[in-house]
Amino acid sequence: MDIFDAQEKIEQLSKEIEYHNYCYYILDNPKISDYDFDMLMQQLLDLELQFPQLVSPNSPSQRVGGGITKNFATVTHRVPMLSLGNTYSMSEVEDFAMRVYNGLNTREIEYVCELKYDGVAINLSYTNGKLQQASTRGDGVQGDDVTVNVRTIRSVPLLLQGDFPKNLEVRGEIIMPYKSFYALNQERENQLLTPFANPRNAASGSLKLQNSAEVAKRNLDFYVYFVVNGEKIQPTHYQSITKLKEWGFKVSPYMQVCKNIAQIGDFIELWDQKRKTLPFDIDGVVIKVNSYSQQALLGFTAKNPRWAIAYKFKAERVLTKLLSVSYQVGRTGVVTPVANLAPVSLAGTIVKRATLHNADFIAQMDIHNGDSVFVEKGGEIIPKIVGIDISQRPDNANIIEFPDTCPDCGAKLNRNEGEAGFYCPDFAHCPPQIKGCLEHFVSRKAMNIEGLGEGKTDLLYEKGLLKNITDFYRLKYENLLGIHRTYLDENTQKERTVYFREKTVKNLLTAIENSKSVPFERVLYALGIRYIGENSAKKLAIHFRSLDALAVAKKEELLTVEDVGEKLAQTLIEYFHDDDNLQIINDLKSFGLQFELTQSTHLAPVSDVLEGKTFLVSGTFATADRRKELENMIEQYGGKRLSSVSSNLNFLIAGDNMGPSKLAKAQSLNIPIISEETFLKMLNK
């Protein structure tokens, strides 16, 4: 096959795949089996592999992502993305209708009522039926270009079909369905990461991920709700949205044309109740004048269109009884109080527990044992206690006293100055901390040891095969095969069995062996040292190059590392003075883990001309990337970067608009302030 035949075949396959994608995700009416769809996709992938010059950004193969975006470009919206005015009562909706009537001076007015999705507004531009750009709302005038990430969303058409116009610009909402949200939060909890508070935050955070392949895994969804084009494709909003469906867009099946206020009220009341049955989050109803000509007559205020308004639902709140308070110990030892509640239905789920955050929250809310508490979800998926019905407090109700010892191991709890939480310091012998560290160690962003999900790590701990993280490298085939445990799944109330079968064991042992090549910065993160996250682990690894150098570092040198403060520096010193920790590190070294940076895991050194010198880059430079380039040069030429002005700083590289406080402090300490040009001359020397 020559390149011309290949191009024709790729275009044909792309259109066919996008059509079946439309049938599956938009119409919910698949025309072929999953296997046949996969075969079409494989044909496309094979051709694109053979002719990489023919790969289009809008190819269906790009849905899986893979593009890396370090900085999101700023996009100026051709038409500003204005927000809607909000209302919380039907009387305010009536006032809106009266303003519309006065502005048009006619009773021949139709409204369109739509669900108000609780997600992220997005602007999509198409040229000749191909997606060109996707941008966020931002401040309404400018947003971020997130095209690479949006292309991974299956319900966003990459290629339009039918009689679409040459240029088309639409707006809609990117949302995260509940199913995707719960799966994502479960994964984050397994990795000991903070779960997202609600689907809206999760969708917003997903769109700004640098790796589009990660966005693809989160199963976002999209609904279109507005046509931006100056030339309206139909005379009314409802007709235009219906037309968009023909061209491949996913539109709401719940829109309704309303003739009067009574019908609008019925729509609002209906969805205030039925929203509990939806597979995604909404927080209200949007009401729009249907006719485009009437919209044009009504116009805009400085901030909002006069022809549309949003009715916001009140947050659902229920009253239930506080039965008891239990205390959970996390991986880092922080003790979190949890309210155990009399089961109550709230926003479509049965709520039995709610977080009480910490001792200060309990004291501020003045919560007593046996209180009747108000629980709310609102926009939050995680239930929270928002108040108390004092009138129902029992006469013998006692205040809740936070324990002074660990509920699991009995060690006396500590509380650092400036921190809200109490924590258990006996991390080496506290079961939940040990299990938390084991799970953190094998997580994807740490050692990435696959095959230990579904409670398998807990099972190995309970069987005595894991006492600390070094024991992963002592696991043997004969010890693992056949281990199992049956337990009750709290979510489904069904029995589940965790089982180590032959294939599971072989895959696990292979993953453990492969983990020995994980680079040093991830090994450092995997150790689970308090306050060390992914970024700080990477910066410490680049600065010290090896664990041996980090282990003997003085506090003063630790504080010179960017993002390392007093708490982390002190924690590191204490960690490396603990004999148990040193034994664990020595054991891991003997198993062959990486405790030094290799040439491929950090910036390649160019020279040592800056050795022994420290620098801080401050201000703005010719391009957004230039500052990072200068910081990289410091390391490549043997220097060290600091994060603030201090007596340890040798040179301050100043760009434009540098903060006056940094400048004044540098001058008071007589620190040389140099330009970018002077710094480059230092490198040449």
How much is the average pLDDT of 20-37? 76
> Of 591 and 601, which is predicted with more confidence?
591
Architecture per CATH, domain 317-392, reads as: Beta Barrel (2.40)
CATH of the domain spanning 3-64: 1.10.287.610
Which band of pLDDT confidence, cut at 50, 70 and 90, is reported for residue 25? Answer: low
Q: What is the per-residue burial (b if ≥16 Cβ within 10 Å, else e) of 369-392? A: bbbbbebbbeeebebbbeebeeee
Burial of 446 (0-12, 13-18, 19+ CB in 10 A): buried
Structure tokens at 429: 């012998």
Identical fold, 317-392 and 614-684: no
Nearest to 286, CA basis, from 94, 111, 91: 111
pLDDT at residue 399 above 80? yes
Which band of pLDDT confidence, cut at 50, 70 and 90, is reported for residue 600? Answer: very low
285 vs 264: CA distance, rounded Å:
9
DSSP 30-93: -SS-HHHHHHHHHHHHHHHHH-GGG--TT-GGGGG---B-SSPPEEE-SS--PPPPEE-SHHHH
Nearest to 522, CA basis, from 602, 594, 435: 594
- In the prediction, which pLDDT does 65 show? 60
58 vs 49: CA distance, rounded Å:
16
In tens, the pLDDT along 286-343 reads: 999 999 999 999 998 867 899 999 998 887 789 999 999 999 998 889 999 999 999 9
Which band of pLDDT confidence, cut at 50, 70 and 90, is reported for residue 666? Answer: confident
CA distances to 80, 198, 244 from 135, rounded to whole Å, are 12, 22, 19
Architecture per CATH, domain 520-601, reads as: Orthogonal Bundle (1.10)
pLDDT at residue 601 above 80? no
> Of 232 and 553, which is predicted with more confidence?
553
Nearest to 504, CA basis, from 480, 476, 487: 480
379 Cβ contact partners less than 8 Å away, ≥ 6 residues apart: 118, 198, 200, 281, 283, 315
- In the prediction, which pLDDT does 84 show? 87
- Which value, in Å, is the radius of gyration of the alpha carbons in the chain? 29
CATH of the domain spanning 614-684: 3.40.50.10190
DSSP 364-415: HHT-BTT-EEEEE-TT-SS-EEEEE-GGG--TTPPBPPPPSB-TTT-PBPB-
Domain ranges, ordered by start, for the chain: 3-64, 82-312, 317-392, 431-517, 520-601, 614-684
- In the prediction, which pLDDT does 625 show? 63
Whole-number percent of the chain with pLDDT over 90: 45
Let me know the angle formed at the C-alpha of 310 by 304 and 312, rounded to the nearest 5 degrees: 135
Catalytic residues: 116
481 vs 298: CA distance, rounded Å:
73
Nearest to 149, CA basis, from 105, 95, 211: 211
Least confident of 123-127, 411-415, 607-611, 614-618: 607-611
Right CATH for 431-517 from 3.40.190.80, 3.40.190.10, 1.10.150.20, 1.10.3720.10:
1.10.150.20
Structure tokens at 4: 């011309």
> Of 409 and 379, which is predicted with more confidence?
409
DSSP 148-203: HHHTT-TTS-SB--SS--SEEEEEEEEE--HHHHHHHHHHHHHTTPPPPSSHHHHH
The domain made up of 82-312 has a fold known as: D-amino Acid Aminotransferase; Chain A, domain 1 (3.30.470)
pLDDT at residue 608 above 90? no
